[in-house]
Amino acid sequence: MELDKLDIPQFGELPHAAVIKPAILHAQRSAALGFWLVATPVFFIACVIMKYFFMWKFGIIQNFESFWTALDRDKSGVWLQPLVLVAAPAAALVMNILAILHIQYDKARKELNINVKIRWQNLLLAAVSLAVLGILLLYAVGGFFHHQATGAN
């Protein structure tokens, strides 16, 4: 009978589970650095929300806004805003994703194994970084369409 000739699969040891997958980046260091890269943009967004949505005008909010306004007017400081508000959260997102993502390619089997380690600090910081980038993207798109609707040059 043909069923007797079939190979029976062996489940004793899975080769991809036995391989130690080192992280591309250290998870705790990525979380610590990611926190500092995301702290200023999160504080900036919180100040904008407190000032323009809740109409709170505390001294720290005014000082923080005047600092960013002074940077915007200065020719040498104009590069700092995109660096701090966009590039830093993007770097934090990439670092925290790389810290939990493990990729291995098995040439013999032609398999790509992708494993995600559940590290809540890195996942939380990646989510916050993605949220900051999303909020800034929505703000930029909204400003563009507002600019187009008013017909300003």
The pLDDT tens digits of the residues spanning 91-105 come to 999 999 988 888 888
Give the predicted TM-score (pTM) of the model.
0.73
Residue type, 143: G
Q: What is the mean pLDDT of residues 11-15?
A: 55
Query: By the 8 A CB rule, do 84 and 69 touch?
Result: no
Sign of CA dihedral 116, 119, 122, 126: positive
pLDDT digits (tens, 9 = 90+) for 44-83: 888 888 888 888 888 888 888 888 888 888 887 778 888 8
Which tokens belong to 130?
Answer: 């993605």
Domain ranges of the chain: 24-145
Cα 93 to Cα 144: distance, rounded to the nearest angstrom: 25
Cα 22 to Cα 76: distance, rounded to the nearest angstrom: 41
Distances (CA, A) of 103 to 23, 33, 86, 99, 116: 9, 22, 27, 11, 9
Q: Which string of b and e fits 84-114 if b means at least 16 CB within 10 Å?
A: bbbebbebbbebbbbbbbbeeeeeeeeeeee
Identify the residue whose tokens are 């904008």: 48
Which tokens belong to 148?
Answer: 């187009």
Mean confidence (pLDDT) of the chain: 82
